[in-house]
Amino acid sequence: MSSLVRRGLREVKLVISDAHEGLKAAIRRVMGASWQRCRVHWMRNALSYVPKGQQSMVSAALRQAFIQPDRVSASQTLRHVADQLRGKWPKLGAFIDDSETDVLAHMDFPAQHRTKIHSTNPLERLNKEVKRRADVVGIFPNEGSIIRLIGAVLLEANDEWQTQNRYMQIEGMVELMAPAIDADTPRISTVAA
């Protein structure tokens, strides 16, 4: 992370990852950003405390917190579900108590972005596409050919995010960055990479 900051990464608001303690500490110390525990991984971890036959019911109950309109409602719902399940699965209740803040961090951001920032799924999907395209080639003649292929896949994904289904709406980004913008701060512009 320090190398990203040295290379110019600034104003990071949120980092989404699994619950690796060293990574969480680096995010706080180096980036000064909020941390969102990947909701998909969180759900898998939560369901590991429940027998297979009960997992769909518990999953449905937990998902109720994620459809709430704001952080306060989501937090109240998650605590209520934890209290309901604690008698039968105390370890699940403790897990929810310990991880509530981490899994609901995305609720502090504009509503229109929440579906994009609650998990690492978009990145995992991109990695899977890179792997799929590289597997088709099989053996690369040199390092440059790998870089060209992966670069093309990444440019294609970037173009799709920029045009077809705009990954993050500009209006929401302006809303998110508004407190940082004042007379002495340069305006944020959109640049296609």
pLDDT for 157 equals 86
Asked whether residue 61 falls in the same domain as residue 154, the answer is no
Asked whether residue 157 falls in the same domain as residue 70, the answer is no
> Which of 7, 92, 100 has the alpha carbon at shortest distance from 44?
92
pLDDT bin (cut points 50, 70, 90) of residue 190 is: very low
Domain's final residue, options 69, 101, 117 = 117
Q: Render the burial of 98-131: b for 16+ CB within 10 Å, e for the rest.
A: ebbebbbbbbebeeebbebbbbbeeeeeeeeeee
CB 11 within 8 A of CB 177: yes
pLDDT for 55 equals 96
pLDDT for 175 equals 64
Identify the residue with better confidence: 133 or 46: 46
176 is a domain residue: yes
192 is a domain residue: no
pLDDT bin (cut points 50, 70, 90) of residue 183 is: very low
As a whole number, mean pLDDT of residues 91-96 equals: 96
* Domain of 133, in residue numbers: 121-180
Q: In the chain, where do the E strands start and end?
A: 14-17, 34-37
Asked whether residue 54 falls in the same domain as residue 73, the answer is yes
pTM: 0.70
Asked whether residue 81 falls in the same domain as residue 171, the answer is no
pLDDT bin (cut points 50, 70, 90) of residue 170 is: low
Domain count, the chain: 2
Q: Which two tokens stand for residue 190?
A: 């959109």
pLDDT for 178 equals 61
Q: Which two tokens stand for residue 46?
A: 């939560």
Asked whether residue 50 falls in the same domain as residue 110, the answer is yes
Residues 6+ positions from 106 with CB-CB distance below 8 Å: 14, 16, 36, 39, 113, 114, 117, 118
Quick check: 187 pLDDT over 80? no
161 is a domain residue: yes
Asked whether residue 173 falls in the same domain as residue 161, the answer is yes
**Distances in whole angstroms, Cα of residue 3 to Cα of each of 8, 16, 168:** 9, 18, 25
